[in-house]
Structure 1
Amino acid sequence: MKLKTRMILANASTVIIPTIITVLVALVAFFVFDKLFGSGISYEHQQKQSMIKVKLINETSTWKQTPEVLEEESYQKYLLEQLAEIHGELMLIKDDEVEFSSKKFSKIEVAKSLASGNIKGRNEPVVINDVSYTVFVTDLMYKEGSKGSLLLLVPVDRWETSFTGLIALVSITFIITFAITNIIISYQFSRSIINPLYTLQSAAAEIAKGNLDYSIVEEGDREIQELCRDLELMRIKLKESVHTQLKYEDNRKLLISSISHDLKTPVTSIKGYVEGILDGIASNPDKMERYLKTIALKAHQIDQMIDDLLLYAKLDLNQIPFDFERVDIAEYFQHCILENEPELESNKIVISFHNELNHKRNVLLDRERMKRVIMNILDNSRKYMCNDQGEINIFLRETVASIIVELRDNGSGINEGDLPHIFDRFYRADAARTKGSGLGLAIAKQIIEGHNGRVWAVSHGKEGTSIMISLSKS
């Protein structure tokens, strides 16, 4: 449920529920009063009683103009019949004497009735024989000069006497139920928000302590669930970021260690030959020349190593842009073979090209970067070639979506356990992998991946190794 919907329902419930309970209590009270007082509070009775009251009160003008009509027996009978319908009483007073009454009243009761009816602005009820009456007094003036009064005693409506109590009951019921409902709903509503917030607070405290394995459970309303989901994603991303940072830190330490190791050997050699020259060990021109050539070779190795390291770093940081163009893959590899064939032949290595493509196929390549890949792989095969007659065969094949390039040599091969790691920088798992800068295949992998391709190795045991390259067709 949405938090907004829950708030609307909670606010509406704090009013609707007390209202329903109050209405039910009022109906029950009305039912109880009806059973206690019979039909006295029925709608028909109330309507009939009101009509008779209004009818009698409207005749007061007639009584004032012709008070003698009240002395007629037939009219008195008519008034008694009307009053009997509402259980009322009648008193006709002339010259301070009761001329006619519907029943016998004592002098005290007559005085109380007169006193109650003569209070201006109020009709306070008078109690006669445990019955409350509202007194309506009409002053009369007879033609012969006598004064009198007509008193109508109308029973106080039992509904009216109970209405105040009913209103008080309904009001108290509404206030109590409103307070209880508000407390319950507020508690339930706050719990649905506070409990997930407590969970988030605990999770935040754990994450602040560095415990990134503390998962955040989705609970509560939809908005809070979305917040939990976002914070859980943030935790996962933060954990991955920390893991990556630690990995980079380990790689940095490994890089420093590997660079130190790889640079130490040629630097030590240079230092030894320089000291030999300074100490006069190179006493003749031939030996001096041999020392200097060795120093130049070692310096070249250091320079090549630094160049490879800078290139790898730039590729790793995506700082080298690729200049892609559509290239005929078979023609491109034939050209690469022609460029590298003389150097390989000088090392007694024969290179062969086998085009197994049925048709001309184009691939998006950066010519210079891909040439660096081929040179690194061929140079790697040349360095670790152990046969007197080395062979390198390049095969071009295709699948439905890609071109497969296989560069296979007949060298010493690679152990199966080392295959997944030979493209890692400075990998030194095997003694046969201790030559060179250790970055050649790592650079090749970076360039291939920059072409959205894939590179892997297949070992043929003592029969050599194949480097496989997969490139997407254009």
Structure 2
Amino acid sequence: MKVVNKVRIIFLPAIILPIFLMVVSIAALSVGYIRTTNENIYSNGIEGFANPLKTMNNETKSCFNDLKRSAIENPAAFEDADYLKRINQRLKEKESYLVIRKGKTIIYRGTKEDHTETEKKLPRFGSEISSQDSGVFLGKPENFLVKQQDFQYTDGSKGSAFILTDLETVLPHYKNIISQVFFSIVAILILTSFLLSWFMYSEFIRPLKKLKEGADRIKEGNLDDDVEINSKDEIGELCASFNAMRAELKESIEARIIYEKQNRDLISNISHDLKTPITAIKGYVEGIMDGVADTPEKMDRYIKTIYNKANDMDVLINELSLYSKIDSNIIPYNFRKIDINAYFKDCVDEIGSDLEQKGMMFSYSNYCSANVAVMADPEQLKRVMNNIINNACKYTNKAKGKVSITLKELDRKIQVAIKDNGIGISKEDLPNIFRRTYRADMSRNSAGGSGLGLSICKKIIEEHGGEIWAESRLRSGTTIFFTLNKIADTQEEESNE
């Protein structure tokens, strides 16, 4: 359920629940007083609380109707003591009593209590309230509700029958029940407030507190624990987004830590690799300065060695600069359509010549059809080829090294395989050879280099939309594979059109 719908639903019990509980409590209290007060005036329930005078009028209505009927049909009944006693007995149950007046004299009084002052103020014969069941309120000196029924005796004298209800005995009951209703209403409001507060806390406050605790954990560097909120509303969606953010942040930090470690390793490796030629250069220069190179042949050998070591340093620095540009995605690529057959023919001619000078055997096989083209940067693609070939030359332990290049045409790709017969790579190290610190993880040897060659190849091939991988067996050689995406030949496109 959406949060907005929950908020709307909250208003429904906030209004209906208190009203419902108040009605139930008042009804329950009314039933309780009905049982304890002999079904007196409280049997009128809520209406009785709102208008007690009307309630008391209704309670004595049946007795008053009997008096009215006797006044019309049988006035002699007012002289019958048994009749008056029966009426008065019924009135006692209503906290009332009967008074009969003949002329100006009270001839019957249904109570032993002294209400003389009140009885002196009873309305005269023929007053406005005579024969009306609504009654009149007498407030001084006592609180009474009075109903009057006039009649004539059999001897023609005037008489009046009065029903007097003592409000002093009734009002305390009202005050008691009203106070209880008041406290019931307060208790109901407190209960309702508690229930709504609990609902608000469980649905809104508690999830927000959990999210805050999760944010505090992230601030303290703890990125391992998710925030668990079992909700399918907007807060649940917020929690899911928060957990996804935490996971991505953790991955980002872990990747940054690995990246920084690799950078430190790379700097350490480059420093070590630069230190080796610098030490050699320094040693040979000191030999020249000390006069060790005392013959033209020694001097020529020293100078050539210094030159070669300076070239090694230049290669290291160039590779590091290139990798930095590739890693930062700032190296420019000049992609264009190139013919695979023509391009690799030029490459293998140059590569074959270089390998021949180094005493390496070279072979080339091309299984691609004519007019096969790819979209590539010729210069960067050549760099990939040279890096792989150079690695093959560096890590060979055979008297006669071999390198072969094989081209295959796949469905939508061109696959290039460069194979050597060098020292090979162990099964454990094979998955890591395209990491930039791979060579530093192996035992260092005299091959030299920055260890960035295959890492640079991987980035260049990925920028071309291809894949690169390796297969190798220890002491049996290594094969590096990479793929390039084919594009349709111009003539084929025109023929298709």
TM-score under structure 1 length normalisation: 0.75
Contact 2:395 2:447 in 1 (8 A): no
Partner of residue 316, structure 1: 327
Q: Which residue of 1 aligns with 2:20?
A: 20
Instruction: Check conservation: 1:384, 1:432, Cα contact below 8 A.
Output: no
CA distance in 2, matches of 1:107, 1:340: 136
Give SS of 2:287's match.
Answer: helix
* Alignment match, 2:121: 115
Per the alignment, residue 153 of structure 1 pairs with: 163
Residues 1:467 and 2:473 aligned together:
no
Partner residue of 1:383 out of 378, 391, 394: 394
The Cα of 1:302 is off from its aligned counterpart by: 1.0
The alpha-carbon distance between structure 1 residues 286 and 32, as it changes in their structure 2 partners (threshold 3 A), is closer
Q: CA deviation at 1:48?
A: 10
Which sits farther off after the overlay, 298-307 or 174-183?
174-183
Report the CA distance shift for 1:281/1:433 in structure 2 as closer, same or farther (over 3 A): closer
Report how many aligned residue pairs link the two structures. 446
CA separation of 1:369 and 1:313: change in aligned 2, threshold 3 A: same
Measured against aligned partners, the alpha-carbon deviations of 1:83-133 in whole angstroms (never above 9, x if no partner) come to x89979675664x456xx788999976753232559xx9534999xxxx96
Taking only aligned residues, the RMSD between alpha carbons, in angstroms, comes to 4.7
- Is the partner of 1:395 in helix, strand or coil? strand
CA distance change for structure 1 residues 334 and 160 in 2, over 3 Å: closer, same or farther? farther
Task: Pick closer, same or farther for the CA change 1:359–1:77 going to 2, 3 Å.
Answer: farther
Determine the C-alpha separation between the residues in 1 that align with 2:115 and 2:227: 85
Q: 1:267 deviation in Å?
A: 1.1
Question: Which secondary structure does the structure 1 equivalent of 2:428 belong to?
Answer: helix
Separation (CA, whole Å) in 2 of partners of 1:340 and 1:104: 137
**1:344 CA drift (Å):** 2.3
Q: In 2, Cα distance between the equivalents of 1:182 and 1:173?
A: 14
Counterpart for residue 395 of structure 1: 406
- Tell me which residue corresponds to 1:352: 363
Q: What is the Cα deviation at residue 320 of structure 1?
A: 1.0
SS of match in other structure, 1:416: coil
Which residue does the alignment assign to 1:457?
470
- After superposition, residues 30-109 of structure 1 pair within 5 angstroms as 30-32=30-32, 37=38, 41=43, 94=103, 96-97=104-105
**2: distance between equivalents of 1:33 and 1:433?**
108
Letter in 1 for 2:138: N
Q: Distance in 1 between matches of 2:113 and 2:60?
A: 28
For structure 2, the residue ranges without an aligned partner over 5 or more in a row are: 46-54, 92-96, 125-135, 151-157, 488-497
Q: Quote the Cα distance in structure 2 between the aligned partners of 1:42 and 1:135.
A: 20
Moved more, 106-115 or 260-269: 106-115
Q: Structure 2 CA distance, aligned partners of 1:213 and 1:125?
A: 83
TM-aligned CA distance change 1:104 to 1:222, over 3 Å: closer
1:415 aligns with 2:415: no
User: Displacement, 1:221?
Assistant: 7.8
SS state of the match for residue 450, structure 2?
Answer: coil
Contact in 2 for aligned 1:219/1:228 (Cα 8 Å): no
Unaligned runs of 5+ in 1: 58-71, 140-147
Contact 2:99 2:110 in 1 (8 A): no
What's 1:251 paired with? 262
Give the deviation of 1:468 after TM superposition. 0.7
**Alpha-carbon distance change, 77 to 163 in structure 1, aligned in 2, over 3 angstroms:** farther
Q: In structure 2, what is the equivalent of residue 145 of structure 1?
A: none
1:73/1:445 Cα in 2 relative to 1: closer, same or farther (>3 Å)? Answer: closer
CA distance in 1, matches of 2:306, 2:399: 29
For 2:238 and 2:110, how far apart are their aligned partners in 1? 86
Q: Secondary structure at the match of 1:417?
A: coil
Measured in 2, the distance between the counterparts of 1:244 and 1:395 equals: 36
Per-residue CA distance 1:7-26 (angstroms, 9 max, x = gap): 55555435433332222233
Which of 169, 172, 182 is the matching residue for 1:171?
A: 182
Residue type matched to 2:355 in 1?
Answer: L
User: Match for residue 277 of structure 1?
Assistant: 288
Aligned to 1:67: none
Deviation digits for residues 143-196 of structure 1 (CA, Å, limit 9, x no counterpart): xxxxx9967536579999966655444333222222233235424543555554
Number of the residue aligned with 1:69: none
The equivalent residue for 1:238 is 249
Residue correspondence of structure 1 range 257-336 to structure 2 within 5 A: 257-336=268-347
Residue 419 of structure 1: how far off its partner (Å):
2.2
Residues 415, 366 of structure 1: CA spacing in aligned structure 2 closer, same or farther, 3 A cutoff? same
Q: Identity over the aligned pairs, expressed in percent? A: 31
Aligned with 1:439 (options 431, 448, 452): 452
Instruction: Give the Cα separation in 2 of the matches to 1:278 and 1:113.
Output: 147
How far 1:271 moved relative to its partner?
1.3
Q: Distance in 2 between matches of 1:108 and 1:306?
A: 125
Instruction: Tell me, yes or no, if the aligned pair for 2:466 and 2:482 is still in contact at 8 Å.
Output: yes
**1:270-313 C-alpha deviation (Å, 9 max, x unpaired):** 11222222222333444333322222222122111111110011
How far apart are residue 421 of structure 1 and its match? Answer: 2.9
Q: Secondary structure of 1:353's partner?
A: strand
Q: CA deviation at 1:434?
A: 2.8
Alpha-carbon contact 2:367-2:408 (below 8 Å) kept: yes
Cα–Cα, structure 1 residues 393 and 108, in superposed 2: closer, same or farther, change >3 Å? closer
Partners of 2:311 and 2:431 lie apart in 1 by: 30
